[in-house]
Structure 1
């Protein structure tokens, strides 16, 4: 039986491993931390193709410079001498144009359209988890603030998505999101999306992999991947493994292993923060505050609040001030929340590329592949990316969904 080693036990790596099993591969998944130990655990868990859009857009030219000097801004770039960081920022801003946005959206759309069906496939074939259909409530203080968001939704629809979307009253919104205050003066309801509890969902995929004969091992760090006649993988212990196929799915840490494999697109950790709180009344759907850039989701009887795009190194310390900034910008929009009851405070390093497109496919080294660079969209696009990459590995056929995600397309490397 052909052996595949997947490095990384987040949503993308686990999904790739699961689908490789569908093609008859003997699969081993290793991770230096554990299942969902990176950015897959504490994110908002949105399966929202209608919001799976390019991160870089023309509004950054006004917002970005202001954010540098606002400690509560959702975008946080530390002002310090860091050549790799500022090289990434320059490339990221170079894509902040309408033309670049459309190019990236065109590349994302086929994956967006197939994303939810990929979750259905997992759930119908042994993954004991649930993706939950629910409306998304989107709130603004004033109608004027909604222009940018409405433009993004229109752009996604222009590229082929159907996004049921209409304006509702505060009373209508409170049926699902009773915590909204009167400060929320303009509200929209988006249908056709879902959400999950991402950590438990990843654990369910890992359980399914093991139930089908694969292995998922925590505390194993891969430090080198090479290939002569077949791939060779060196562990931090000095041990070498020799699988037939290797998939690197290590998120923001991917350049450490992939930079010598021809994957030269820069990957920057775009760190997000989250925590959960108690609410006076149950919340039954996700809530999004685009102006504050805060995404909220029901989570195990509580309410997960997530936000921030912090461009730092993936292993830098947790910054408590980012949690306080999320509360500062959000508090006036919500009622009935005990902000002092916070649990699960978390930071995760999302792997952001300058052009907003993932890196999924073959490297220049035979039988070594990568799956990552999804930015904020690794959860929603993880299963479809894993499915299509497994198809490429098993059959040699690159599905059209993956063509825009070619990992050998260029740019500079950084971490």
Structure 2
């Protein structure tokens, strides 16, 4: 039987493993920590293809400089001598133009369109978890603050997606967590959400139940391509296969760079925590001006935010948690921000051009899947499906052609 090794047990890695199994491939999944140990665990769980858009846009040129001196800003860059980081930021900022935004959005639209159907494939195929329809409630302190968000939605629709959006006169009916300080609100439909850890746990269990070997505590230090692709663990053990998929998120460059994957991958770290609410939270809430996403999660309310450009293994910075609290305190009500649980930081893999890295490398039998930035959860199943097709058949689906990792 054909055998593939998938390095990384996040959404992208496990979805790739699942779809390889669909095509009759024997799979071994290796992860140095465990299922969803990276950015898949504590994210907001939003399945919002209508918001899977380029991270860099023209507003970066006005927002970015202000963010550098505002300790509560959602964007945070530490002041340090780091040539690699500042080179990435320069490349990232260069994509903050209308032309670059449209080019990237055009490339993302085909995979955005199939993203939700690919979740249905997983749950219909035995992944014992759920995805749930919104609506999502979008709130702004002032009507003028909604202009950028509305422009983004219009841009997504211009590229061919349907993103139903309507003005709400009384947003507290859907989201009692919004305070009267929210002066303008909208209802966003056609999107879904999930509870990240329960879903990831179910996906990992389904992959194992279908015959995969899942090894945690397996630290891969080297990958070899060619006639007999293989991986070498820190223990010295070597495992051979017919193909190897590197799906290690923000850590991808450590293993993939030598195979011609030159696009920079920078950890854009997100933070989250959960709180109790006076009224039950039933719908996701988004505060675009503050870049804060909130989701019902196991009877509590998960609050997530921040794009912090640091190393992927650096420790949690409590000041970033406080920034989220400071930004949300006046806009939320009935939310116990002082009694937080599950404080978390996760490293999302961000590329300068806003496009993932998915496909074959220069080494025979070695593939990569990652670089989705904030959209690894929503685009993970579709990525896994299309990459599995490429690995097994050699055909590159047009939806992932723009994500060529050798670009």
TM-score > 0.5 by shorter chain: yes
Q: Which residue of 2 aligns with 1:88?
A: 88
CA distance in 2 between counterparts of 1:390 and 1:194 reads 24
Aligned counterparts, 1:266-281, within 5 A: 266-281=264-279
Q: Give the 4+ runs in structure 1 shifted more than 4 A.
A: none
CA distance in 2 between counterparts of 1:17 and 1:390 reads 8
Match of 1:230 among 205, 225, 228: 228
Q: Which residue of 1 aligns with 2:217?
A: 219
CA distance in 2 between counterparts of 1:251 and 1:167 reads 37
Residue 79 of structure 1 deviates from its aligned partner by 1.1
Q: Which residue of 2 aligns with 1:347?
A: 345
Provide the secondary structure at the position in 1 that maps to 2:337. Answer: strand
Residue 340 of structure 1 deviates from its aligned partner by 1.8
Instruction: Verify the 8 A CA contact 2:140 2:185 in the aligned structure 1.
Output: yes
> C-alpha offsets along residues 70-96 of structure 1, whole Å, 9 cap, x if unaligned?
111000001111000000000000000
Provide the secondary structure at the position in 2 that maps to 1:257. Answer: helix
Provide the secondary structure at the position in 2 that maps to 1:332. Answer: coil
Instruction: Verify the 8 A CA contact 2:226 2:365 in the aligned structure 1.
Output: no
Instruction: Verify the 8 A CA contact 2:32 2:218 in the aligned structure 1.
Output: yes
Q: Which residue of 2 aligns with 1:304?
A: 302
Q: Which residue of 1 aligns with 2:355?
A: 357
Residue 176 of structure 1 deviates from its aligned partner by 2.0
Q: TM-score, normalised by structure 1?
A: 0.97
> C-alpha offsets along residues 300-325 of structure 1, whole Å, 9 cap, x if unaligned?
00000000000000001110010000
Provide the secondary structure at the position in 2 that maps to 1:305. Answer: strand
Q: Which residue of 1 aligns with 2:174?
A: 176
1:147 and 2:147 aligned: yes
Q: Which residue of 1 aligns with 2:32?
A: 32
Provide the secondary structure at the position in 2 that maps to 1:313. Answer: coil
CA distance in 2 between counterparts of 1:309 and 1:33 reads 23
> C-alpha offsets along residues 38-79 of structure 1, whole Å, 9 cap, x if unaligned?
000000000001111000000010010111111110000011
Any gaps of 5 or more consecutive residues in structure 1? 410-415
Provide the secondary structure at the position in 2 that maps to 1:225. Answer: strand
Any gaps of 5 or more consecutive residues in structure 2? none
CA distance in 2 between counterparts of 1:247 and 1:340 reads 42
Aligned counterparts, 1:12-411, within 5 A: 12-169=12-169, 171=170, 173-409=171-407
Provide the secondary structure at the position in 1 that maps to 2:102. Answer: helix
CA distance in 1 between counterparts of 2:231 and 2:216 reads 16
> C-alpha offsets along residues 223-273 of structure 1, whole Å, 9 cap, x if unaligned?
110123211211011111111110000000000000001100000000000
Q: Which residue of 2 aligns with 1:6?
A: 6
Provide the secondary structure at the position in 2 that maps to 1:139. Answer: strand
Provide the secondary structure at the position in 2 that maps to 1:213. Answer: coil
Q: Which residue of 2 aligns with 1:413?
A: none
Provide the secondary structure at the position in 1 that maps to 2:340. Answer: strand
Residue 222 of structure 1 deviates from its aligned partner by 0.3
Provide the secondary structure at the position in 1 that maps to 2:289. Answer: coil
CA distance in 1 between counterparts of 2:276 and 2:227 reads 56
Moved more, 227-236 or 395-404: 227-236
Residue 399 of structure 1 deviates from its aligned partner by 0.3
Provide the secondary structure at the position in 2 that maps to 1:61. Answer: helix
CA distance in 1 between counterparts of 2:34 and 2:338 reads 29
Residue 379 of structure 1 deviates from its aligned partner by 0.1
